[in-house]
Structure 1
Amino acid sequence: MGKKRLVSLLLAAVMLLMAACSVNMGEDEPKTTTDPGTKGTETKSGAQKVVFWHAMGGATTKVVDQLVDNFNKSQDKIQVEAVYQGTYDDLLSKLKASMGTSEGPTVVQMYEIGSRFMIDSKLITPMQNFIDQDKWDVGQLEPNISGYYTFDDKLYSMPFNTSNPILYYNKDLFKEAGLDPENPPKTFEELKTAADKISKTGKAVGANFAIYGWFMEQFFANQGAEYVNNGNGRDDLATESLVNSEAGVKVMTWWKDLIDSKAANNLGRKTDDSKKAFSAGQVAMILDSTAALKGLVDGTAGKFEVGTGFLPKPADAKEGGVIVGGASLWMMNNRPDEEQKAAWEFIKFLTSPEQQAFWHINTGYFPITTKAYEQDSVKENLKKFPQFQTAIDQLHNTKLNRATQGAVMGVFPEARQIVEGAIEEVLNNKKTPKAALDDAAKEITSKIQEYNRTVK
């Protein structure tokens, strides 16, 4: 099969899957729909042009534009043009449309669950190639972040916007229920006890978790459990979903018990609905991305104090941790070598401690480099938002293994949607946890195998 034919089949398969559903991505969907183009720097005569496609909407678009402007002003040989392409799904659709033309990007941002597809597409140059040629020190990256994008000991893409889930809780409601506001629940069992006490006060519901496939993936990793077979799809192509394993059934049994006992409520799939209920003091505990922290703290200022805790897990769970969410930067291999080398210079610039500090403070995403935490601006920001220390500690306490590296499969967007459907069936009393997850696993496995046949 020719390269163009393979890529066309892969893109067609993925686009069909994503056309059927609106996919939750592990962070807030961008709100902006216009294309602001590049801000600031005027085009430099004779400079090598680099086109950067991204999906950072809303206020984050301005932060991306500023990073690009910072780079363009730092030298006179390369001119980067940042182009906002809408949501991650929109971006992938436009990437497909650019195939076979000269209109595509040099560098493209892709959500983490698109990693398997990007590798299989044969459209990219692994970032490791530039790292090796330049003898660039990968050790400066946070290992639990770079680990997600490392396959067969190669870093295929450069981490960009990175987050993970944490527990947010209302310290005032904890106090009123007789709970220690400085000691958030660490286990499923402790969370159930705390949620029960808060709900019984009649002042708020104990907890709410959005029906979000990303959370299920995280609950697996936090139990040291793999989500798909073959080493989470990292030792070989995944061929089977493991969502119906003991780890999954344990999560759904606990979650349903929270709902049935009225220790928690069900507000559906939208994380925005969960955050609104939390900010209004209607629920005491929610799960959300670390990138939501600044907005939640600012939004509740003067109402109550926001506390943060690690993602809870069963008391008898194996060693695990959280998986990074977000997206990374991929180098497209259909661009001239000189253009790719210029793009590599831009990517290196983005990883510098100064730029990472700026990115972190203005977006809430993690710095991907360890030295960014030594920047005075980051230290000051931590004083202002001490709750973020929880996120840092959780990331650093995570032991990197196949479970916490995260699963990879070519049909991840649809798999996430199927799992969300199964969660709904359980919480709405349509199926038992085991039956719903068995059906989900069967459907996902079928989709994985269909994708693998396309790849082969």
Structure 2
Amino acid sequence: DCPLDALEAADGPVDIKLWYTGIVEPPVTVLANAVKGFNESQNKVEVTADNQGNAYIEGLRKYQSASRTPDQLPQIIYLEDTMLGEMVDKGQVLPAEACMLADNYDPNQITAAARAAYTVDGVLYPGYMNVSTPILYYNKVHFEKAGLDPNKPPTTMAEIEEAAKKIKEWDSSKKPFSFKADQWFFSTWLSGVGQEMVNNENGRAAPATEATFDTPESLELLKQLKSMNSEGLLNPFPVTDGSIDHYLALVTEVSSMVVETSTASSTIAAALGGELTAEDADIDLGSVTLDGKKIVPASGQYPGLKAPGQIYASGGAFFMLNTGTKAEQAAAWQFLKYMLQPKVAKDWTLTGGYLPVVKEIISDPEIAKFRETELDGQLLGPAIDQLATADPDRSGPLIGPYRAFQEILQGALENVLFSNGSPNDSLAKAQREATELLTDYNG
């Protein structure tokens, strides 16, 4: 239950701490403005947002440490979507849906794909989500020079390979497809064709007990990536916190295409427009500059195994914790309800580069203008479209020990791409290890 009435009975303003990680510029300004706007809009609650680090994993570690002594925890915590399973398993989250229903807020005002991704046992847990999805970024100039249509980006992995071959024919020094070997992309590709990473309906019908990603589809995908790598069509990079080498491959024109998060749209646009320094974005561009005559960035929906835009909602989410007083729980909901207001939610898209999760703003005239006239809006457009049509029944895996699960799958990808490992053996080994992990977690 959500103790809404407790706020009315509280003496004086209720102080709320919000911990966040993984939010840098420009989105961190959106959060600061939301906190300021909320605090100025009423006098019953005072929110303070505290940055716990630049990487999501830092926030998870801080939460795991503090969760043993609940009085050290904040009232709201912002964590990556992959931490949903562990958060629910610990039993320390106040489900936002309980507060929504108690306060006559219809959860259906939130887009179906976003709701589905963050719902466990029919209950929506976070009060607000910063949703992002992978999309394709590419350089129109290279497409033009290679004889490709610069306004028709590849829509499948097969078309990515075809485009890469054309670009390689135009300039043999290129490694056309820059690829960060992130398991997120791998999981998204498989989810898009209905392949589950774990059993029990991807962990959503019951806790996952077995890994199930060693399939003909995943094997074919790994073989394709390995083949492209051996032919010089792929430019692979290991996953390293804070590294943007896979982006720089496009900036230095070694590569022509990259798949990455949709939130990069605001960073790319701000850097091009001179509005954002490398320091602001927590990246090191060194002496590299973007040359508009050689680089014209564009984007397309995520190229799937069979069709474009087959994604699920990812990103970060604001969770209310049930470890504080009832007045604090009620106060936390008031802030998240404020974030759900269209005027606030809109800012997360217009300035922060996150996708619309409140249905009302998708057709907002300001969003339409942003998509038409601003570079970051143009880059973000395909991601907005693919989220709006995403299948809520394919909302990605729900796994308690998700971080460790990711590392195992990551290891398989890296073994194939950087150590010339066998796709068959790498997948089989990873699946065995992931199943052992789930067995240990479930006790």
The question of a shared fold, defined as TM-score above 0.5 by the shorter chain, is answered with yes
Paired letter, 1:447: L
d(CA) in 1 for partners of 2:309, 2:146? 31
Q: Does 1:48 align with 2:19?
A: no
- Match status 1:274 vs 2:246: yes
Q: Matched residues in 1 for 2:123 and 2:218: separation?
A: 30
Q: Out of 54, 58, 66, which is 2:24 matched to?
A: 58
- Deviation per CA, 1:133-177: give whole Å up to 9, x if none: 122111111111111011221101224221000011111101111
Alignment correspondent of 1:18 = none
**Equivalent runs, 1:4-19 vs 2, <5 Å:** none
Q: Is the 8 A contact 2:266 2:351 kept in 1?
A: no
Partner of 1:322: 311
Match of 1:425 in 2: 415
Structure 1 residue 130, shift from structure 2 partner: 0.9
Give the distance between the partners of 2:52 and 2:266, measured in 1 at CA. 25
Residues in 2 aligned to 1:206 and 1:102: alpha-carbon distance in whole angstroms: 52
Task: Output the CA distance in 2 between the equivalents of 1:151 and 1:89.
Answer: 22
Return structure 1 stretches of 4+ with deviation > 4 angstroms: none
TM-score by length of 1: 0.85
In the alignment, what sits opposite 1:292?
Answer: 264
| C-alpha deviation, 1:374, in angstroms | 4.1
Alignment of 1:242-261 (within 5 A): 242-261=212-231
Distance in 2 between residues matched to 1:163 and 1:371, nearest whole Å:
18
Matched residues in 1 for 2:70 and 2:191: separation?
A: 40
The one-letter code matched in structure 1 to 2:198 is V
Shift of 1:123: 1.1
After TM superposition, list the pairs within 5 Å mapping 1:88-107 onto structure 2. Answer: 88-98=56-66, 99-107=68-76
Matched, 1:440 2:430: yes
* Secondary structure of the structure 2 residue equivalent to 1:363: coil
| Aligned partner of 1:233 among 193, 200, 203 | 203
The alignment-based identity, stated in percent, is 28
State which of 109, 117, 138 in structure 2 corresponds to 1:169: 138
- Verify: 1:211 aligned to 2:181, yes or no: yes
Where 2:438 maps in the other structure, the secondary structure is helix
Residue 263 of structure 1 pairs with residue 233 of structure 2: yes
Q: Is the 8 A contact 1:149 1:159 kept in 2?
A: no
SS at match of 1:364: coil
Q: Per the alignment, do residues 320 and 443 of structure 1 end up closer, same or farther by CA in structure 2, a change over 3 Å counting? A: farther
Distance 2:235 2:24 in 1: 30
Structure 1 segment 35-184 matched on structure 2, within 5 A: 46-59=12-25, 60-86=27-53, 87-98=55-66, 99-184=68-153
> Which of the numbers 333, 336, 357 marks the counterpart of 2:322?
333
Unpaired segments ≥5 residues, structure 2: 1-10, 273-289
Q: CA 1:151–1:84 in 2, change beyond 3 Å: closer, same or farther?
A: same
Matched, 1:310 2:278: no
Q: Larger deviation: 263-272 or 329-338?
A: 263-272
* 1:24-65 residue CA offsets vs partner (Å, 9 max, x unmatched): xxxxxxxxxxxxxxxxxxxxx921111111114432333212
The answer (yes or no) to whether the contact 1:206–1:285 under 8 Å persists in 2 is yes
8 A Cα contact 2:135 2:299, kept in partner? yes
Deviation at 1:101, TM superposition (A): 5.0
Runs of 5+ consecutive residues of structure 1 not aligned to the other structure: 1-44
Q: What CA deviation, in whole Å up to 9, does each residue of 1:97-140 have, x standing for no partner?
A: 33335332111112111111011101122112112212211111
**Aligned CA distance change for structure 1 residues 182 and 126 (closer, same or farther; 3 Å):** same
Matches of 2:399 and 2:65 in 1, distance apart? 23
CA RMSD, 1 decimal: 1.9
How far apart are 1:218 and its partner, in Å?
Answer: 0.8
Q: Name the CA distance, whole Å, in 2 between partners of 1:170 and 1:101.
A: 49
Judge conservation of contact 1:226–1:407 (CA < 8 Å) in 2: yes
Answer yes or no: is 1:345 the counterpart of 2:334: yes
Given the two structures, how large is their TM-score scaled by the length of structure 2?
0.87
**Cα distance in 2 between the residues matched to 1:205 and 1:94:** 39
Match of 1:386 in 2: 378
How many angstroms does 1:393 deviate by?
A: 1.3
Which residue identity lines up with residue 96 of structure 1 in the other structure? Q
Amino acid at match of 1:97: S
- Contact persistence 1:224–1:321 (CA under 8 A): no
Alignment: residue pair count: 405
How many Å separate the matches in 2 of 1:82 and 1:267? 34
Q: Relative contact order: is structure 1 or structure 2 higher (C-alpha 8 Å, sep ≥ 6)?
A: 2
Assess if the C-alpha contact under 8 Å between 1:109 and 1:329 holds in 2: yes
> What is the distance in 2 between the residues matched to 1:158 and 1:436?
39
Relative distance call for 1:73 and 1:236 in structure 2 (3 A) is: same
Amino acid at match of 2:79: M
SS of equivalent to 1:287? strand
Do 1:164 and 1:323's aligned partners in 2 also have CA atoms closer than 8 Å? yes
Tell me what 1:358 maps to.
Answer: 347
SS for the counterpart of 2:344 is: helix
- C-alpha displacement at 1:372, in angstroms? 2.0
